[in-house]
Amino acid sequence: MVSSEMTDDGSGPVRSPGTGASGGMPHGTRLDPFLEAYAERARSMTSSEIRALFAVASRPEVVSLAGGMPFVSALPLDAVADTFRRLIAERGAQALQYGSGQGMEVLREQIVAALMPLVGVHAHPDDVVVTVGSQQGLDIVTRILCDPGDIIVAEAPSYVGALSVFAAYQAEVVHVPMDGDGLDPDALAETFRQLAAAGRRPKFLYTVPSFHNPAGVTQGPDRRRAVLDTCQAFGVPIVEDDPYGLLGFDGEVPRALRADDAESVLYLGSFSKTFSPGLRVGWVVAPHGVREKLVLATEASVLCPPQLSQLAVSAYLAEQPWWDQVKVFRELYRERRDALISAVQSHFPAETTWTTPSGGFYSWVTLPEGLDSSSMLPRAVTARVAYVPGSAFYAGNAKRLGKRSLRLSYCFPDPDRIREGVRRLAGVIESELELVHTFGSPVAHTDPALSARDNARIAGQSQAPGPATE
């Protein structure tokens, strides 16, 4: 085992004879002897703000409006337990064995027969690849499509888990603004034109069109058509992430982009929000050639999705009134959304704006001028309330766009806890405003690494995703 000692001035590790560039194990530091051994792509891997919050937000005295954890206690847990018991007792040899890299045929048949028609998609079971949650779907899609330095276009703000995947594969994310109706198709077309003028073509557009995470907005039918038309005109495929599509509060399920373009849209679905995140079962619907590559990528990473989880989901769909359970979740989350919005209206300062989601788990809040959601977070935790700062949902230098924003999740706490959490957070915001009014805002500055256009956008569009409900 190579040892590594710091120099007297603490400036770096002391090299031991016979190691490092001349052979043997590479040098690191006393804390991480593998520091110099990491691949380039590992150097961009950093802990997200959400992960860093988990330890604090899980404390019982803290009201967590941070993580998007489904309220699984609303499930018929006795029936679920009985399903698992019978699976092991009657089909244990199959449930505990290896399976197909594409996923079980029976579950793929159920996905295309029972779930995909709800979003307007008609597909064949062969078009489906079962994944270890939709997060693995994001990973294998990016793996087979992107080389280091490739461009991915994504909404601003965008799902933090997707941004982590894109960073891991060393793709460059170019953000496109949103407004109250989701992704702005005019801004999307302008982004494509600018990239084309620079000789660059995006590998795909990543979008969450229904009940967006984190913005809480939804693309309407006309907006979806415009986004599709724009991508088709520029020859850019779409990765459509739809974990919340069945969780609308008005009863209508938005039509998927995939429903109107089966050739260039890859659809990601998940049972995490409508059944159980702990089972880690999702799926990708993809064109035939892409599907084959996705299966190969799955086999290379996990060999196959877990048989037990797939059988449990399949049995749940076959034996339980799962659609009635989705309706239970809808009403539960609607009640909690209402509790959040009414509390925000009652307690937040007048200069604050927010989105009122029509489904899903999240509302996007923009703070009054002069506040910084990241620097405010420690004070909020001290006040026993947690949220996710807006900068978590932007890539690279665009993180500045989220400086005044934050995401509030209402899916897990009960309504009274939500109201108490908002009350605590409002007190923190008021205290921050008093400091700003007393001492002034920090001096605004631009980042020399950004273009003039980017700096202007930071200054003028910091309230993305646009029109909000007050």
Q: What is the pLDDT of residues 307-354, one digit of tens each?
A: 999 999 999 999 999 999 999 999 999 999 999 999 999 999 999 999
**261-295 b/e with 16+ CB inside 10 Å = b?**
beebbbbbbbbbbbbbbebbbbbbbbeeebbebbb
Residue-level pLDDT at 25:
52
Q: What is the pLDDT of residues 67-76, one digit of tens each?
A: 899 999 999 9
- Alpha-carbon span 276 to 313, nearest angstrom: 9
Are the CB atoms for 286 and 140 separated by under 8 Å? Answer: no
Residue-level pLDDT at 75:
97
In the three-class reduction of DSSP (H, G, I as helix; E, B as strand; rest coil), residue 67 is classed as: coil
- State mean pLDDT over 429-450: 68
- State mean pLDDT over 421-425: 98
Query: Domains in the chain, please, with CATH?
Result: 5-37 (no CATH), 50-73+324-460 (3.90.1150.10), 77-321 (3.40.640.10)
Task: Look at the chain and count its residues.
Answer: 470
Q: What is the pTM of this model?
A: 0.87
- Given a cut of 70, whether residue 224 has pLDDT beyond it is yes
- State mean pLDDT over 23-46: 71
Element (H, E) at 131: strand 128-131
Q: What is the pLDDT of residues 137-148, one digit of tens each?
A: 999 999 999 999
- Given a cut of 70, whether residue 222 has pLDDT beyond it is yes
CA atoms within 13 A on the CB side of 22: 5
Residue 292 DSSP code? H
- State mean pLDDT over 258-263: 97
In the three-class reduction of DSSP (H, G, I as helix; E, B as strand; rest coil), residue 469 is classed as: strand
Lookup: tokens for 59 = 């404390």
